Amino acid sequence: MSELDDMKSELAELKNRVGKIEDLNAIRKLHYAYGYYIDFCQYDEVVQLFAKDGEVIFLSGIYKGHEGVARLYKTWFQNFFTKGKPGPEYGFLLDHFQMQDIITVADDRKTAKGRFRAVLMGGMHESREYMPEGLPQQFYEAGIYENDYVREDGVWKIKRLDYMVQWQAEYEKGWAHTEAHLQPAVETYPKNPLGPDELLPAPRQTWPHRHDVPYHYAHPVMGAKLNGK
């Protein structure tokens, strides 16, 4: 191989590495934007972050395509939290902190996987007139995302958002004395107008139950040796 060929090969490798860095930043921005839109109950914007065949896994249910995603965020969340209006809403708090991201871009740069941690504070000020039934007035929540992303028409979008609630705690009681107010889905749409299109084969029990959240990436030091692959 000539020196020119070596330079071309090295340049192609560098371009690919820079491209992956740009992909990482774009995916991080995509997921962080999701968190901000969720904070302010701007669910039309949330739906548009998903690929056409994107899906959400939430409370052991799978919401498929833009129709399913909109059923979760608009038909359920928006009607429940803000009576159908886009936020922000007086006296209503739903702040997500998105952090600790590990993103892996595929070699062909067409798909990627990402793991994020979320910590949430939610509830309502005592002066708010509307109080959603069954929602604690002050609560904490934490969860882990293991997501898939896809480049659609040159833009990174969410292919599969899998949010696994890890714990919930009413502010006054703390996590030691709280059972999660969110429970696994048991009925699908249309029998349940707010339900998912499909249920996971085995339901994920919520706090105080704990369950493993499989990692999409190999151990940084031990590599594949850790999980035997």
Query: What are the φ and ψ backbone dihedral angles of 67, each rounded to 5 degrees?
Result: -65, -45
> In residues, how long is the chain?
229
**Running DSSP on this structure, what letter comes out for residue 175?**
G
Q: What is the pLDDT along the chain (229 residues), one digit of tens a residue?
A: 687 667 777 777 888 889 999 999 999 999 999 999 999 999 999 999 999 999 999 999 999 999 999 999 999 999 999 999 999 999 999 999 999 999 999 999 999 999 999 999 999 999 999 999 999 999 999 999 999 999 999 999 999 999 999 999 999 999 999 999 999 999 999 999 999 999 999 999 999 999 889 999 988 888 865 554 4
Strand bridging mode 50-58 / 155-170:
parallel
**144 token code pair:** 């882990």
**pTM of the predicted model, to two decimals?**
0.92
What DSSP state is assigned to residue 201? S
Residue 64 tokens read as 């498929």
Distance CA 149, CA 31 (A): 10
